[in-house]
Amino acid sequence: MYFFLIAFAVLGAGVKYIDDAFDEKVFNKKTAYIIAPLLGILWAYTMIIDAVAATILLAILLGVVMKGKIDNIAHVIGLAVIIAIVVVAGVQLLFVPLLILAVAALLDEVGNDLVYKSRCLAGGKWWQRLVIGFFDQRWVAKVAILGLVVVSILPWFFFVAMLLFDGAYLGVRSVSQIRQKALLMSPTTSDISQA
């Protein structure tokens, strides 16, 4: 159980680090290239040792791949490592939960994009803040996992693991936003992305 809690947190943080090294240019790209295959190995190993972990992690991958979010070379490297290891080693999956969670992950990605592009959600009304928070923090997959926990299909600690995955992801995003503000406030400072 503890392995999955730690692994999911590391995976969430690593994915966001790579995202923002390329998309926001606030982290070191060389480090992202080093992290990507290591994350791929951890991701694949976590899938190989447990069918529930494999189902959740594959659902996340399917959601981001279907939405076209594998958009930099480091993510492609990580994905290639995952596919290579999983194809060779094989994984067990829970197919009905996989379908449910893949749809949930895709809805999270679509909703996340929508809240950043939608003018109707730009106001400060309570329902707008609720929708933005729900999709900004990708709650569709977490609610789906919680539902599968409640009906005893998934063990409860995988809901906690998913909270840690997203919490670590959001934690790295917060660091990234702080670095972006620092970069904007001091344009003469050396490139923060090389830190």
**What local confidence, expressed as pLDDT, does residue 187 receive?**
61
pLDDT class for 183, splitting at 50, 70, 90? Answer: confident
pLDDT class for 74, splitting at 50, 70, 90? Answer: very high
Domain boundaries, the chain: 2-106+160-194
Average pLDDT value for residue range 143-161: 97
Query: Residue 193 pLDDT more than 80?
Result: no
State how far the Cα of 19 lies from the Cα of 130, in Å rounded to an integer: 25
What pLDDT, in 10s, does the model give residues 20-69? 999 989 999 999 999 999 999 999 999 999 999 999 999 999 999 998 88
Query: Residue 151 pLDDT more than 60?
Result: yes
Mean pLDDT of the chain: 89
Question: What is the full DSSP assignment across the chain?
Answer: -HHHHHHHHHHHHHHHHHHHHHTT--S-HHHHHHHHHHHHHHHHHHHHH-HHHHHHHHHHHHHHHHTT---SHHHHHHHHHHHHHHHHH-----HHHHHHHHHHHHHHHHHHHHHHH-STT-S--HHHHHHHHHHHTTHHHHHHHHHHHHTTSS-THHHHHHHHHHHHHHHHHHHHHHHHHHHHH-TTSPPGGG-
Query: Residue 155 pLDDT more than 60?
Result: yes
Within 13 Å, how many C-alpha atoms sit on residue 154's CB side?
32
Residue 8: how many CB atoms within 10 A of its CB?
29
Closest Cα partner for 138 from 74, 53, 62, 63? 63
pTM: 0.88
**What local confidence, expressed as pLDDT, does residue 120 receive?**
60
Query: Residue 126 pLDDT more than 70?
Result: yes
Residues 6 or more apart in contact with residue 147 via CB below 8 angstroms: none
Residue 129, token pair as written in the block: 């803040």
Closest Cα partner for 93 from 130, 56, 123? 56
